[in-house]
Amino acid sequence: MDAIECIRTRRSIRGFRTDPVSKDALSEVVETAMWSPSYKNSQPWEVMVLSGSKKKELSKYMVELFEKGTPPCPDIPEPVTWPKTEGARIADLFRKRTEVSGIDLNAPEILKKAKVANFNFYRAPHAIYLFQDSSLTPWSLFDIGLFAQSLMLAAHAKGLGTVPQAFATDYAHNIKDFLNIPASKKLVLGISIGYPDPASPVNAFRTDRVETDEIVTWIE
């Protein structure tokens, strides 16, 4: 597929097949993402790919922390308020997903299930963590965002599915200790990756986008 098709057809996948992805294929996805732009070519991204027993052990650990009521400690705090425009888009997404699924996504029990699913990486065979040095500036956080997008597009181009996960960083301090990531690093994002399961109903839902003129000002 060409670049335009790749961008337009990528979607967040939350239903995966269990068969693993080869190390060569995962390496190619990461190597492709490394060509992302960065401030002064600083390349401020670090990557950890989890598979097998270690991924399962981490999922079990995070679920246990959650069920014990351990307070989240993400390195990048979860937003608690949104401007009116962005808040309306989020509310519209929840409304549409509720209409499709018949499930109230704001209900506490549904939120709990969603978090547990995140901690289990939606049963994908692999998980990726992106992190960077905590002393870096917001420009570097922007750069690692570019890297994340490139990684997910490269995965999509190879027939793989991904979903970016903020919840997977809820227990950043614990996760870094468990994975021997230095405390001086900032855990930015978790990503589930694997082959999409076309039979999974959760993959049928597709988010929409606002009209171009809603975000663009043309000046001539």
Handedness of CA 110, 114, 120, 123 (dihedral sign): positive
For the chain, what is the mean pLDDT?
94
Tokens of 219: 């000046």
| Domain boundaries, position 160 | 14-78+119-200
How far apart are alpha carbons 73 and 89 in whole angstroms? 27
CA distances from 188 to 4, 34, 121, 164, 165 (A): 27, 16, 16, 10, 10
Question: Is the residue at 103 inside a domain?
Answer: no
Residue 104 is predicted with a pLDDT of 74
pLDDT digits (tens, 9 = 90+) for 147-163: 999 999 999 999 999 99
Contact (Cβ atoms closer than 8 angstroms) between residue 144 and residue 132: yes
Q: How many domains, in total, are found in the chain?
A: 1
Tokens of 84: 């009116």
Question: Is the residue at 48 inside a domain?
Answer: yes
How far apart are alpha carbons 100 and 164 in whole angstroms? 22
Question: Is the residue at 174 inside a domain?
Answer: yes
Question: Is the residue at 156 inside a domain?
Answer: yes
Task: Place 45 in a pLDDT band, splitting at 50, 70 and 90.
Answer: very high
Helices marked H in the chain — which ranges? 3-9, 23-33, 52-67, 84-101, 108-119, 138-157, 172-178
pLDDT more than 70, % of the chain: 98
Question: Is the residue at 91 inside a domain?
Answer: no
Question: Is the residue at 167 inside a domain?
Answer: yes
Helices marked H in 34-102 — which ranges? 52-67, 84-101
Residue 95 is predicted with a pLDDT of 86
Question: Is the residue at 212 inside a domain?
Answer: no
Count of beta carbons in the 10 Å neighbourhood of residue 7: 12
pLDDT digits (tens, 9 = 90+) for 87-115: 999 988 888 888 777 667 678 888 898 89
Question: Is the residue at 86 inside a domain?
Answer: no
The average pLDDT across 17-30 equals: 97
Q: What CATH code is carried by the domain that includes residue 132?
A: 3.40.109.10
